[in-house]
Amino acid sequence: MNPAYAANLVNRRDLKPYLSSDQFEFRDSVNRVLTRHASPEYIRHCDEEKRFPQELVDVAAEQGWFGITLPEEHGGIGGYLDMAAYLEIVAYHTIALARFWNANVNMCGGALARFAPEHLKSEVLPKLAAGKAWLAFALSENGSGSDAASLTTHAVADGDDFIINGTKMWISGAVQADYILTAVRTDPNAKKHDGISLFLVPTESKGISINPIDLLGGHAIRTCEVVYDGVRVSKDSIVGGLHVGWKKLTTVLSKERIALSAMCVGGAQAAIDLARWYANERKQFGQSIIDFQTVSHMLADMQTRVDAARMLAFRAAKLLDEGETCDVESSQAKYFASDTYVQVATDGIQIMGANGYSAEYAMQRHFREAKMFQIFGGTNQIQRNIVARALKS
């Protein structure tokens, strides 16, 4: 693919109201590192072999990228515009690294930084920022997805400890995790949204088993069932206070939507650039297929949608950095960007014909990976519910 396309993404004019020259330079450096270490062949290999991209994660750790948005006193740096600027470029090259970063830093690191007791912060956050400890976030269960607060995994007090029993589903990156931030019911008599607590559970604890699940895409970061069979954890591993975990969780979830929207924009831009390159190269009836108006108009619509999604993503990140509430804006960004990614990948396959459908090209992977984003982080129907609720007067 034409390397000038990635350079265009790094330096987009429409991001000037959002990013400083330092942040543009940072995007440039992320792009240069990933151009070297996340080749299309490597990314394809990890996806096809269901192989964790260890070498790439090591590079990201060396670069200090796992510290982005974490507190400076624990080895972190930067805010949510830095995150969006970074994740867009990462996802352009690799959704796998972007997803792993999001689960570790945004979901778990973010929750620990805000709500964990000091001893847990100083034990875990510097290791996370340095890429020496990994985390996964376990909320969903078989019976509780969109209705996440109806979770049934429970913890019962036993002296200074709690004993956890239950099964979590669809947990991204659990295979690599040293700790799983786990939402459990601690007060069975409280109302649904009350009586939930967050525990930071070491995966080496006796009674934990982690079983990868086969999915349509996202194979490099395995999504897992996690079984807790009488897992004993200290009361000191509670994050955010006993019985009040749900309120804490909701603040983490809106940040996740912004991260996911930036990732969708980067992934969708990569899909467009591939389709654009192909449409310029591919000749039929004696001309490049981009000279057929039906093809060029598809590309025009794809780019316009992605540009709009980008503005929603950066608007939400800016609001968050400025300390404003952005529940609605982050939901808008998440559902619009992921719907856009799916649309762009679908049209990208059409533009590339049989080659778009072939494993030889990345377009089919975009198609499979884009679909995940309409489901996790709260389905797009749930995001629309949030936006619609705000419109009701």
**163, burial (CB in 10 Å: exposed 0-12, middle 13-18, buried 19+):** middle
Span from 133-141, 199-207, 313-321, 343-351 in contact with ligand FAD (CB under 6 A): 133-141
Measuring CA to CA, how many Å separate 49 from each of 46, 170, 219, 220?
5, 19, 8, 8
Backbone angles phi, psi at 361, to 5 degrees: -110, 155
**CB nearer ligand FAD, residue 97 or residue 295:** 97
List the one residue from 171, 252, 262, 342 that touches ligand FAD (CB under 6 A): 171
Span from 115-123, 134-142, 302-310, 361-369 in contact with ligand FAD (CB under 6 A): 134-142
Give residues 344-383 in contact with ligand FAD (rule: CB under 6 A).
372, 375-376, 378-379, 381-382
The answer to the question of residue 115 lying near ligand FAD (CB under 6 A) is no
Backbone angles phi, psi at 375, to 5 degrees: -105, -55
**CB nearer ligand FAD, residue 103 or residue 313:** 103
Span from 131-139, 297-305, 330-338, 351-359 in contact with ligand FAD (CB under 6 A): 131-139
Shortest distance, position 181 Cβ to ligand FAD, whole Å: 9
Give residues 82-111 in contact with ligand FAD (rule: CB under 6 A).
103
The answer to the question of residue 137 lying near ligand FAD (CB under 6 A) is yes
Spatial separation of the C-alpha atoms in residues 359 and 155, rounded to whole Å: 45
Closest residue to ligand FAD, judged by C-beta, is: 145
Spatial separation of the C-alpha atoms in residues 188 and 152, rounded to whole Å: 9
Shortest distance, position 196 Cβ to ligand FAD, whole Å: 13
Shortest distance, position 345 Cβ to ligand FAD, whole Å: 16
Give residues 213-242 in contact with ligand FAD (rule: CB under 6 A).
215, 218, 223
Shortest distance, position 384 Cβ to ligand FAD, whole Å: 8
List the one residue from 51, 227, 385, 387 that touches ligand FAD (CB under 6 A): 385
Shortest distance, position 365 Cβ to ligand FAD, whole Å: 14
**CB nearer ligand FAD, residue 103 or residue 279:** 103
Question: Applying CB under 6 A, what is the total number of residues that bind ligand FAD?
Answer: 21
**CB nearer ligand FAD, residue 318 or residue 371:** 371
What is the binding site for ligand FAD (CB under 6 A)?
103, 137-140, 145-146, 170-172, 215, 218, 223, 372, 375-376, 378-379, 381-382, 385
